[in-house]
């Protein structure tokens, strides 16, 4: 990719909010009629942070895959995809032809021990119905089905220790 | 003073809290070094450390009754403070201490047993004319019995573990069809957590406030209360923020509930510090829920409004002293709020987020107290609870305390795990919280978003993502890095990137 061809970048949040930045990327952001300096800093005491309007905000890059970034900013995580004007166009075309999701997987939201599997393969579940019970840090957590559908595969057994994001159950969406 | 040396059968902030008072009382302290956190902060504060870090026991040493007794005897301690959690409400352990001529800093084993078994506690309350929510007389043994009773008292009902506490083994049932499922879950959870599958059923009080009274009693039958704590801000029955006093109580209701708390404590010959928990409905009817026979996590808010050191009182009472405070001496002054800053992911429904604390800085000031057992380099590990620190803030009234709390929250700096801070930043700006009209249903029903962020924050995060993209893809001689491990390498990486910019 050459810098010369690209004039701006679109940064899209997972909740579909769009931020547009012109290139070359400046360390100033315009709010209303004023420019505010944003700077990325790091030191021994605070670690990495962003300084904005005389206030420090802790930041961390949690994950980066191709053009997708998960940023932890002031204890809240955001996932963005950064698109060039070309990839943005391509994405729009793709989205228009994209089919509905058919398979949904339930993943472990945290590391822990699996106490119980509440469903069987082939069972019909409603959205919000508990599918497994996971114990982590003194608490039992019901992991609920994100969709209504049919359980196609159970990948774990009770008493198993699971890691964060381990695949637990697969559900075919109705 | 008979007590000269205390073994603290606990860790973290509560171990440090106990040591602080023991030092003032010129009592020596012993703590135990466990293999899972051999460099924990609490170890630095005690006079003596018993090193148990060579062993990798199956159960935490703080739950090992025989071992704790052995350590106390070997180190020449004459008393044991159990803190909260672990063995704090284990009647068998308290009794073992007495058998070994060790002073247990807490109530009599018999009081622990009676109040620890919710079914017995309920019977005692009923026998003493103390209001309880209608429900089963004893334990419920099967699903049919549960359904018959629930039909009689009316839905919704709550299934509770007889030996329960801390929200485990509890399920709310709204319709008969759900009874079977929840009865099994509650019973299993109770069996696992408390080695006792028995459960009982009560009418579920909708949208109550959780109000608890701190009491103190001595071995001579004197019992007083130190006012209430408002603990309605909870999720999954786990408290997140506590206040003292509560905006729901006037002095009449305070006196009435306080007298009831004293009455139930006297009914079990209670001594030491204890907490009587009530549910308060919207018509100001209150119901006895349970009594906690230990020092509680949220005890600092009571200390800040009464000026009484509860740990000191526990030690003096255990020593056999007469209570040196009378009911008329108790004056609540000002307002205190405690925020439990836990390593939890607010965006993932408060899921625990264990990790290593990379940076930490807490505010300080005359209105601020921070109780913590965590420092830079400490790890929040999944074997223990997720607490990082308790931020306790005082003000001359509720409004003032909230204002101070808001400022203090902005000065907390923690890196390494996600925390409950964004939740508190939202809470101190929430209208219902500011009015004080919230109930235990607040987190589930009254808020749309669990955290606070401004549009600028998201925009700044977007700027950072864009910056990363530009550097990786568009700049000449961009460094190629494996971002899979981005978190570990971030300070170094970021430095390098910044210098380029």
SS (H, E, C) B387-404: EEEEEEEEECCHHHHHHH
Q: What are phi and psi of B92, to 5 degrees?
A: -60, -40
Could you read off the pLDDT of B91-117 as tens digits, one per residue?
Answer: 999 999 999 999 999 999 999 999 999
- Section B80-97 average pLDDT: 97
CA distance B268 to B112: 9
Å between B221 CA and nearest CA of chain A: 36
pLDDT > 90 in chain B, percent: 78
- Section B226-230 average pLDDT: 98
Å between B348 CA and nearest CA of chain A: 7
Q: What are phi and psi of A17, to 5 degrees?
A: -90, 145
Domains of chain B, earliest start first? 5-105 (3.40.50.20), 134-203 (3.30.1490.20), 209-342+390-410+418-446 (3.30.470.20), 456-500 (no CATH)
Q: Which of B420, B399, B261, B234 is nearest to B330 (CA)?
A: B261
Q: Which residue of B has its CA nearest to A144?
A: B349
- With residue B348 as reference, give the H or E element that holds it: none
At B477 the pLDDT is 45
Find out whether the peptide bond into B245 is cis, omega within 30 degrees of 0.
yes
The yes-or-no verdict on residue B262 having pLDDT over 70 is yes
At A100 the pLDDT is 60
Give the architecture (CATH level 2) of A103-173.
Answer: Beta Barrel (2.40)
Residues constituting chain A: 174
Could you read off the pLDDT of B296-317 as tens digits, one per residue?
Answer: 999 999 999 999 999 999 999 9
Contact between B116 and B293 under an 8 Å Cβ cutoff? The reply is yes
At B408 the pLDDT is 98
CB-CB under 8 Å, B469 with A45: no
At A143 the pLDDT is 87
- Burial profile A122-156: b = 16 or more Cβ within 10 angstroms, e = fewer: eeebeeeebbbbbbbbbbbbbbbbebebebeebeb
Least confident window among A97-111, A148-162, B464-478, B480-494: B480-494
What are the Cα distances from residue B267, in Å, to B50, B94, B129, B305?
39, 19, 11, 27
Could you read off the pLDDT of B36-48 as tens digits, one per residue?
Answer: 999 999 999 999 9
Q: Which residue has the higher pLDDT, A134 or B490?
A: A134
| Confidence band for B495, pLDDT divided at 50, 70 and 90 | very low
Q: One of B11, B294, B340, B425 is an active-site residue; which one?
A: B294
Low-confidence ranges of chain A (pLDDT < 50): 2-3
The yes-or-no verdict on residue B144 having pLDDT over 60 is yes
Distance between start and end Cα atoms, chain A: 42
At A129 the pLDDT is 84
Residues constituting chain B: 501
Contact between B210 and B279 under an 8 Å Cβ cutoff? The reply is yes
Please report how many Cα atoms fall inside a 13 Å half-sphere around the Cα of residue B102, on the Cβ side: 30
| Confidence band for B499, pLDDT divided at 50, 70 and 90 | very low
CA distance B461 to B456: 8
Contact between A7 and A21 under an 8 Å Cβ cutoff? The reply is no
Beta-sheet pairing, A149-154 with A124-125: antiparallel
Task: Give domain limits for chain A.
Answer: 3-97, 103-173
In chain A, what residues touch B418 (CB-CB under 8 Å)?
72, 75, 77
Residue B461 in contact with partner chain A when CB distance is under 8 A: yes
At B489 the pLDDT is 38
- DSSP state for residue B241 in the 8-state scheme: E
In chain B, what residues touch A41 (CB-CB under 8 Å)?
498
Helix, strand, or coil here: B5?
strand
CA B94 to chain centre: 21
pLDDT > 70 in chain B, percent: 94
The yes-or-no verdict on residue B486 having pLDDT over 80 is no
**For chain B, what is the mean pLDDT?**
92
Is the ipTM value over 0.90, yes or no? Answer: no
CA distance B177 to A39: 58
> Is there a catalytic annotation at residue B294?
yes
Structure tokens at B30: 């012993």
At B166 the pLDDT is 62
- Substitution target in B178, B348, B444, B463 with the highest count of A β-carbons within 10 Å is B463
At B484 the pLDDT is 41
Could you read off the pLDDT of B348-375 as tens digits, one per residue?
Answer: 889 899 999 999 999 999 999 999 999 9
Q: Where are the beta strands (DSSP E) in chain A?
A: 8-13, 18-22, 28-31, 34-43, 47-52, 55-65, 68-73, 76-83, 103-107, 112-117, 124-125, 130-136, 139-144, 149-154, 161-162, 167-173
Least confident window among A133-142, B61-70, B111-120, B147-156: A133-142
Q: Which residue of A has its CA nearest to B495?
A: A42
CA distance B125 to B289: 10
CA distance B383 to B8: 19
């Amino acid at each position: 990719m050459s810098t010369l061809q690209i004039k701006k970048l679109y940064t899209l949040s997972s909740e579909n909010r769009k931020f547009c930045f012109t290139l070359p990327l400046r360390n100033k952001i315009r709010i209303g009629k004023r420019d505010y300096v944003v700077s990325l800093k790091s030191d021994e005491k605070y670690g990495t942070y962003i300084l904005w309007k005389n206030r420090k905000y802790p930041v961390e890059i949690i994950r980066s895959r191709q053009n997708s970034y998960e940023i932890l900013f002031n204890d809240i995580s955001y996932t963005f995809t950064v698109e060039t004007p070309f990839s943005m166009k391509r994405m729009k075309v793709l989205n228009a032809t994209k089919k509905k999701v058919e398979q949904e997987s339930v993943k472990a939201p945290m590391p822990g021990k699996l106490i119980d599997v509440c469903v069987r393969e082939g069972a019909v579940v409603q959205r919000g119905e508990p599918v497994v019970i996971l114990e982590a840090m003194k608490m039992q957590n019901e992991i609920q089905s994100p969709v209504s559908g049919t359980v196609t595969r159970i990948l774990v057994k009770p008493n198993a220790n699971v890691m964060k994001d381990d695949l637990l159950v697969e559900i075919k969406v109705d | 003073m008979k007590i000269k040396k205390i073994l603290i059968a606990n860790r973290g902030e509560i171990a440090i809290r106990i040591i602080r008072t023991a030092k003032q009382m010129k009592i020596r302290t012993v703590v135990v070094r466990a293999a899972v956190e051999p460099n924990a902060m609490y170890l630095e504060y005690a006079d003596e450390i018993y090193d148990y870090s060579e062993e990798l026991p199956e159960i935490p040493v703080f739950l090992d009754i025989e071992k704790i007794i052995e350590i106390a005897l070997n180190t020449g301690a004459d008393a044991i403070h159990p803190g909260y959690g672990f063995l704090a409400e284990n009647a068998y352990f308290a009794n073992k201490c007495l058998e070994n001529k060790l002073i247990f800093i807490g109530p009599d084993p018999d009081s622990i047993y009676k109040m620890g078994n919710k079914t017995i506690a309920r019977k005692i309350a009923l026998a003493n004319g103390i209001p309880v929510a209608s429900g089963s007389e004893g334990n419920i043994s099967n699903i049919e019995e549960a359904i018959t009773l629930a039909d009689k008292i009316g839905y919704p009902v709550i299934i509770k573990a007889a030996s329960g506490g801390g929200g485990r083994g509890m399920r709310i049932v709204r319709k008969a069809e759900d009874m079977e499922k929840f009865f099994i879950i509650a019973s299993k959870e109770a069996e696992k957590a408390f080695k006792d599958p028995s459960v009982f059923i009560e009418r579920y009080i909708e949208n109550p406030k959780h109000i608890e009274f701190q009491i103190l009693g001595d071995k001579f039958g004197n019992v007083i209360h130190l006012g209430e704590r408002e603990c309605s801000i909870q999720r999954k029955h786990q408290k997140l923020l506590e206040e003292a006093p509560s905006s729901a109580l006037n002095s009449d209701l305070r006196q009435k509930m306080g007298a009831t708390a004293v009455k139930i404590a006297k009914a079990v010959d209670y001594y030491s510090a204890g907490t009587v928990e009530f549910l308060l409905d919207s018509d100001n009817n209150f119901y006895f829920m349970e009594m906690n026979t230990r020092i509680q996590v949220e005890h600092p808010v009571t200390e800040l409004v009464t000026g009484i050191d509860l740990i000191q009182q526990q030690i003096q009472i255990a020593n056999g002293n007469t209570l040196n405070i009378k009911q008329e001496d108790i004056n609540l002054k000002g307002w205190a709020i405690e925020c439990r800053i836990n390593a939890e992911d607010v965006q993932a429904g408060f899921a625990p987020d264990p990790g290593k604390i990379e940076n930490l800085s807490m505010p300080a000031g005359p209105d601020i107290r921070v109780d913590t057992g965590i420092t830079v380099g400490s790890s929040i590990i999944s074997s223990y609870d997720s607490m990082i620190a308790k931020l306790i803030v005082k003000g001359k009234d509720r409004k003032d305390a909230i204002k101070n709390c808001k400022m203090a929250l902005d000065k907390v700096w923690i890196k390494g795990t996600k925390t409950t801070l964004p939740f508190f930043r939202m809470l101190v700006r929430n209208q219902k919280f500011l009015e004080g009209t919230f109930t235990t249903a607040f987190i589930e029903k009254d808020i749309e978003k669990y955290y606070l962020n401004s549009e600028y924050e998201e925009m700044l995060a977007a700027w950072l993502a864009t910056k990363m993209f530009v550097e990786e893809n568009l700049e000449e001689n961009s460094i190629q890095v494996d971002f899979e491990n981005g978190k570990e390498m971030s300070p170094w990486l970021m430095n390098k990137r910044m210098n380029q910019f």
